[in-house]
Structure 1
Amino acid sequence: MTIEASDQMFKRSVKEHWYVRYSEASFPAVQKGWVLPTNRWYDFDPFILMAEDWFKKGTFSDHPHRGFQTITYVIDGRLEHIDNAGGHDILEPGDMQYMNAGWGAVHAEEGVEDDIAHTLQLWLNLPSELKNSPTSYQTVYSEDAPVVEFEGGSIKVFSGDIAGVTGPLMSAVPITMSEILLENGGAYELILPENHNAFLYVLSGDLDFGESYVNLQKHGVATLTFQETGDVTNPSSLKIKSNSRRSKVLVYSGAPIREEVVAYGPFVMNTMEEIQQAFRDFQAGKFGKIGSNSK
C-alpha cells in the first residue's frame, strides 16, 4: 500500500544545499568531485562521503576496505567489478553495486576497455557491532529495481520500502535509495522514515524541493531536515517539483549511528588502534586476494 502524505506528517525542508565542484585528475583518472565532502561525518551520519568520478581502466585497481559499506551507481560508461569473494561483473548505466566491506574486502573497480566510467560512490558507515561482519557484495541491475509510475513521472526503488514497493538491495543496515524522474511540471511527494537523515543529488534538469521550494539544477546537492528522535515507523514527506522537460534526482536516507568515526585511507573504524590493526591484517594477507573466494 502506498502511504499518502497527511497534515500530521513531518514535512521535510532543505537544510543545506550546494553545487559540486570538480577538479581534473591525472590519467587514467579524468575528473573528480565531492558530492558529500569528507570532513562532515557527523552532519551526514550514517553517510561518510560521496565521490563522483570519471575514470578509465587502471584507476581503481586492487584495494582493501574494512568497517563500512559502499553503494556505487553507474551514471555512464561501463564499470567492471572483481572482488575477493570470487565475484565478477560488468555494470552499465543505471546499475548499482553494493559492498559490505565488513571484516575485510579487496576489490577492483575499473572502466571497461576504452570506456570512461562515470560513477557515484557513497560510503555508508557500519555500527561498531557490524564492523567485523562477513564481507558481501550485491549487484542491482537497473531493470531489477521496481518502478512505480505516477502522473508526470516515475520512481525507481533500489533500497527500502517506498511507494508501495521494496527495493532489492539487502544492506547490512536499513537505508533507502530511490531514483525519481519527472516531466516538466511533474510533482511527487516522497515518503521516508521521519528519523532518517537524508540527502539528494540532482542528476539532470531543474527541480524545486521541500516546503520552501528550494531550486536546484544539475550537480546540485541538498541535505534535508529530519526528526532524529522520531520513530522509524512514522513517515515524513518531501515535496519535489520539476521545472524542466527531463529531471532526475537520486535520494538516499538512513538512521544516524552516532558513534565515533575514525577514517584513514581505505578503512573506517571507531578508533585509531582499530585502523592500525586493519593495516596489519591486510599486510599479513588476511583479507585474501582478488578473484578468489579465499579469506
Structure 2
Amino acid sequence: MKITVYEAHEQGIGQFDNGKIIEQKPIAFSHEPTAVKRIGPLFYWAWGYAEKGGIVPLHPHQGFEIMSYVLNGNLAHKDTLGTKSTVGPGGIQLMQTGSGMYHEEESFGDDVEGFQIWFEPNLRETMRLSPSYQQFENQDFPVTKTDGNTVKTIIGHDSPVTLMTDVKMWDLKQAPSSSYRYQIPSGYSLAILVIRGDGVIIDSHTVVAIDHKDFVVIDAESRSEVIFHSGGEGMQTIIIEVPTIPNYSLYPKG
C-alpha cells in the first residue's frame, strides 16, 4: 500500500465570476498545473468557496457523471433540460450528462462552500444515453454514528445516488482523538480531502500526518486496512473509493 500526501500548494487553483468564486483543485483539468491528473475514473475535483456568492454561466457537458456537493450556503442549478432548482447544505445536484447538456450554477448566501466532482464512466456507453438531472437533500442520505465518528454515505450502500461509474463516497466527521477503521479492497484507491482539522492515517507500517487542505491518495494492490485518527480539534474528511484501473479505456488526460 502506498500513501501520498499533496499539500494545498501542490494542487490546482481556479476562479469564476471575476474572482467571486475561488477554487482549490485536488484534481484539475489537463491544462492546469496540479500534482494529481486523475485517480482511476475520478477525473476532476474542485473545492469552491464564495464569500458572497457567484455565478458560473451556461456551459456544456457530455458523457461524465458530475456531482455538486454543498457544504455551506445554497447552490442554484439551471439547465437545458428545463431544470431550475436549489439545494442547501449537505445536498447534492447530480448530472449524468450523456449525449450532452448545458447548465448554469449560482451560489447564494454568505461563505458558500462545496465541491464539484467529475466521475468518468465508460464514455462509449454513456455518450449514447439521454442526459438527466437529479437532486438529493441532506436528509436523504444514511448516517451512522459510532465511537466519535459520524459517517454520511454519499455514494454507496443505502445511498439514493446511483452511478454507472464504480465509486463510493463518504463524508467522515470525527470527534477529537477518534479512530475510524476502513478496509480498502484489492485493486482500489482512496482519494481523501481534509476539509476540517487534522490527524494521522495509519497502516500496518506507517503513520502519516495529514492537515487541513491536504489531499491524500492511497493505492492498495491487496486488501488493506487504514485507520483515520483525528487530532485534538477533530477532523472532517471526504473519502472517495474508485478502482485504480477500471475495466474500460479512460479519456486521455495529459
Coarse TM-score class (shorter-chain normalised)? 0.7 to 0.9
Please give the TM-score of this superposition, normalised by the length of structure 1: 0.73
Please give the root-mean-square deviation of Cα atoms over the aligned residues, in Å. Answer: 2.5
Give a deviation string over 1:215-238, Cα, whole Å, max 9, x none: 1111110111123xx7xxxx6433
Residue 193 of structure 2 is aligned to residue 201 of structure 1? yes
Corresponding residue for residue 212 of structure 2: 218
Structure with the higher strand share, 1 or 2: 2
Residue 32 of structure 2 is aligned to residue 32 of structure 1? no
Residue 249 of structure 2 is aligned to residue 259 of structure 1? yes
Quote the offset at 1:89 in angstroms. 1.9
Question: Given that residues 43 and 118 in structure 2 are in contact (C-alpha distance below 8 angstroms), is that contact kept between their aligned partners in structure 1?
Answer: yes
Q: Which runs of 5+ in 1 are unaligned?
A: 1-11, 265-295
Corresponding residue for residue 47 of structure 2: 52
CA distance in 2 between counterparts of 1:116 and 1:186 reads: 28
Corresponding residue for residue 85 of structure 2: 89
Residue 240 of structure 2 is aligned to residue 245 of structure 1? no
Please give the TM-score of this superposition, normalised by the length of structure 2: 0.84
Mean alpha-carbon deviation: is it higher for 186-195 or for 176-185? 186-195
Quote the offset at 1:17 in angstroms. 1.2
CA distance in 1 between counterparts of 2:36 and 2:19 reads: 29
- The one-letter code of the counterpart of 1:50 is W
Residues 248-287 of structure 1 mapped to structure 2, 5 A cutoff = 248-255=236-243, 256-257=245-246, 259-262=249-252
Quote the offset at 1:23 in angstroms. 6.2
Residues 81-120 of structure 1 mapped to structure 2, 5 A cutoff = 81-112=77-108, 115=110, 117-120=112-115
Structure 1 runs (4+) greater than 6 angstroms displaced: none
Quote the offset at 1:109 in angstroms. 1.0
CA distance in 2 between counterparts of 1:137 and 1:197 reads: 28
Instruction: Give the structure, 1 or 2, with the largest relative contact order (CA under 8 Å, sep 6 or more).
Output: 1
Give a deviation string over 1:15-50, Cα, whole Å, max 9, x none: x21122456666263322211133477751211121
* Count of equivalent residues: 241
Question: Given that residues 193 and 238 in structure 2 are in contact (C-alpha distance below 8 angstroms), is that contact kept between their aligned partners in structure 1?
Answer: yes
Question: Given that residues 38 and 44 in structure 2 are in contact (C-alpha distance below 8 angstroms), is that contact kept between their aligned partners in structure 1?
Answer: no
Closer, same or farther: CA 141–25 of 1 in aligned 2, 3 Å? closer
Corresponding residue for residue 279 of structure 1: none
CA distance in 1 between counterparts of 2:61 and 2:6 reads: 29
Quote the offset at 1:194 in angstroms. 2.8
CA distance in 1 between counterparts of 2:37 and 2:186 reads: 18
CA distance in 1 between counterparts of 2:189 and 2:80 reads: 32
Closer, same or farther: CA 251–23 of 1 in aligned 2, 3 Å? same
Question: Given that residues 67 and 92 in structure 2 are in contact (C-alpha distance below 8 angstroms), is that contact kept between their aligned partners in structure 1?
Answer: yes
Quote the offset at 1:262 in angstroms. 4.2
- The one-letter code of the counterpart of 1:217 is D
CA distance in 2 between counterparts of 1:74 and 1:224 reads: 25
Quote the offset at 1:106 in angstroms. 1.4
Q: Which runs of 5+ in 2 are unaligned?
A: none
Question: Given that residues 28 and 59 in structure 1 are in contact (C-alpha distance below 8 angstroms), is that contact kept between their aligned partners in structure 2?
Answer: no
Question: Given that residues 46 and 117 in structure 2 are in contact (C-alpha distance below 8 angstroms), is that contact kept between their aligned partners in structure 1?
Answer: yes
CA distance in 2 between counterparts of 1:49 and 1:139 reads: 20
Give a deviation string over 1:79-111, Cα, whole Å, max 9, x none: 101222332221222222221111112111111
- The one-letter code of the counterpart of 2:89 is P
Closer, same or farther: CA 244–23 of 1 in aligned 2, 3 Å? farther
Percent identity of paired positions between Structure 1 and Structure 2: 20
- The one-letter code of the counterpart of 1:174 is D
Give a deviation string over 1:133-165, Cα, whole Å, max 9, x none: 22122222222110111112221101113xxxx
